[in-house]
Structure 1
Amino acid sequence: MPQSTLRSTLLLGLSVMTLAGSYAFAQKTVRKPDRAKPPQFQSNEFSGVFFADARSQLQGQPSLGSGAQASSTDSAMAASDDASQAESTAQGNDVWKQLISGPSIEDLVKESKSRVDGIITTPAKFASGGYGDARREFTLLGSLMGIIAQYPEEIRWKASAPYARTAFARIAANSKVGTQPVYNEAKLRQQDLQDLLKGTKLNGTAEETPWADTADRGPTMQILEWALRENLAPHTSNEDNFTNNLDEITKYAELVAAYGQILQLEGMTDADDETYTQFAAAMLAAAKETLKAVKNKDPDLARSAVAKIDQSCNKCHETYR
């Protein structure tokens, strides 16, 4: 081997050995970073904080629908369950006794009589718009007479109620116009109402009158709006109003509850629509919650319950007209 080649080989070997030694030395001298020691836990340190099996705490089924649809009907469905529980304890005509009292019915009839006397005065006033007010009042009176006729115990006007229901429902249906013949009929029904309050039994033939004809949805919604906006809402707006109007709140909450039941009866418009009946049931449940607030003298609960009545009405109006 030539001397120059041997020298090159020796130099290469020395270089490799030097690099290897330097690498090993570097490995020994590089400082490892400081690390925190792992924490030590006691076996029961987090008892009661986490579930042993989270899956065991899951309830119900996941909602696969849109959030907007779910939120619009949740309260109505919950209230529908409450109303169903009430119906389980009161079937058929017995339900009226749970929803509205005899004194409330009597007061509502008397107050309506006062308004009717201010509406049915002259043909001109009746024709200029009074017929619409008359339609609302006679719808209310027909509904109250329908309840009286089906009430499970004796209350005032029960003997006259079947005929009065027929007569008031007929004039309510006819009062879509303000013609002279309709005005003349309204005057006769006004006299019937006067005779009722005097204690006179009405003479007439009662006809089978379905609830859909007794409580037509248009004027019924006007009655509910009036009960809510002009009575329940202002009477529960603050603690003083609540305290000073307990009897009035009771009366109108019972009226709303009764109409909540009527709207769900077989044959009523949309009574076969589950969503519609859920809204009616929600209104009924909120009215009963209002009555609970009166019983417990709880103004905050009353205000919340009346707001629920308003909410159920608004949601219903968004879909049904």
Structure 2
Amino acid sequence: MQFRFRCFSLALALPLIAVGVGSASAQQQRARPPEFDQAVTSRVFFPDMSTAFQGERPTLSSLQELEAAAAMAKAEAASTEEGDGKTQLWSKLISPLSLENEVKRVKLQFDGGLTTPGAFNSGGYQDARLQLSVLASLFAVLSEYSGDVRWKEDAKTARDLVAKTARNCAAGSTPVFNEAQLRKADLQDLVSGSGISAAKPSDEDNDWSMIVDRSPLMEYLEQLLDQLGDESTDAASTEENVDTIRKNAELIAMVGEILKKDGMDDAEDDDYAILSYAMTTSARSVVTAIERQDFEAVRGVVGEISQSCADCHDQYR
């Protein structure tokens, strides 16, 4: 019995010894942990979560507010696509007079910049690109505008012509200068009342990805906002420049809506939609303050537009 017990004990001990040997062998074969160069990893990873945020850390309530604002912006955009909402939207944002005056103003700028091929090729094409991009956007809005508005019948044709030349003005050359001269003649015919007869009429709906790029619209916004700020330094200057301030505020509201259109860069981004919506809302508040003759309040609302633009530039410029 003693012999059997020893054999049995030995039989139990052998697997345990084998496991111990196997574990020791596995530990010896295990790869060494990798070593990282902190000088390299510090350029990729944050040292801790507290440094990953800029400004104040978002709270649950602030995130809920952003979500609610995004839902509101989407709901408003969806409502404008139903029935006649798409055309009624523009008439809520900008008056026919503001559209007409801005087309004339930008056209005059465009005309004045087309002097010689040399001046055009050495930098004038950049100004032409901006001005034609703005005109293409204005004609696109005119094509969807509700009610009677000047140039509506030729708006789609003018939109396509100037948008095409704006894209070609990405670089300067003599052929592009000659094309810009043709657009100058077309625009003169349109403004003088003759219409655009030299081109094939267009009946296509607005495809914003083919109408304007975000970059010239942002540059245009900066110009509008600079002028808006300069003319509304106090209640007296606001009252003195009330017509120009109203027009520029309406144009800013219009651009804010264009930036959210399908086909525009980042239009599907909820945060971007919120910023565009905030800019449009503040611009409309300028008009509301003017209508109730609260010229003192205009300056503060202009500051809100500036803040919306600054917030957008921080993330999307």
Q: TM-score range by the shorter chain?
A: 0.7 to 0.9
Q: Does the alignment pair 1:221 with 2:218?
A: yes
Name the CA shift for 1:228/1:117 in 2 (closer, same or farther; >3 Å): same
- For structure 2, the residue ranges without an aligned partner over 5 or more in a row are 1-54
Deviation of 1:81 after TM superposition, in Å, equals 7.1
Match of 1:270 among 259, 266, 275: 266
Whole-angstrom distance in 2 between the partners of 1:104 and 1:314 = 25
1:79, distance to aligned residue in structure 2 (A): 6.5
Verify the 8 A CA contact 2:260 2:276 in the aligned structure 1.
yes
RCO (CA 8 Å, sep 6+): is it higher in 1 or 2? 1
2:38 corresponding residue in structure 1: none
8 Å CA contact 1:254–1:287 kept in 2: the answer is yes
Instruction: Calculate the aligned-residue CA RMSD, in Å.
Output: 2.4
Specify the alignment match of 2:97 in structure 1: 103
Asked if the contact 2:70/2:271 (under 8 Å) is kept, the reply is: no
Tell me which of 241, 247, 258 is aligned to 2:243. Answer: 247
Of 190, 193, 205, which aligns to 1:196?
Answer: 190
Tell me which residue corresponds to 2:122.
128
1:109-120 pair list within 5 angstroms: 109-120=103-114
How many Å apart are 1:73 and its aligned residue?
7.9
Query: Tell me, what secondary structure is at the counterpart of 1:267?
Result: coil
Q: Which of structure 1's runs of 4+ aligned residues deviate more than 3 A?
A: 66-90
Counterpart pick for 2:310 among 290, 308, 314 = 314
Would the aligned equivalents of 2:136 and 2:159 in 1 still touch at CA under 8 Å?
A: yes
Amino acid aligned to 1:237: T
Per-residue deviation, 1:264: 0.7
Q: 2:180 aligned to 182, 186, 202, which one?
A: 186
Tell me whether 1:293 sits opposite 2:289 in the alignment: yes
How big is the shift at 1:74? 8.9
Tell me by how many angstroms 1:78 deviates: 7.6
**In the alignment, is the contact (CA less than 8 A) between 1:83 and 1:284 conserved in 2?**
no
- How many residue pairs get aligned? The number is 255
Distance 1:242 1:72, change over 3 A: farther
Q: Displacement of 1:213 after TM fit?
A: 2.2
Contact 1:142 1:164 in 2 (8 A): yes
Q: Measure, in 1, the Cα distance between the counterparts of 2:240 and 2:183.
A: 34
Identity within the alignment, %: 38
Larger radius of gyration: 1
TM-score (norm. length: structure 2): 0.75
Match of 1:162 among 156, 160, 163: 156
Q: Distance in 2 between matches of 1:172 and 1:292?
A: 34
Task: Give distance in 1, aligned partners of 2:96 and 2:168.
Answer: 28
Equivalent residue for 1:280?
Answer: 276
C-alpha separation in 2, matches of 1:83 and 1:296: 26
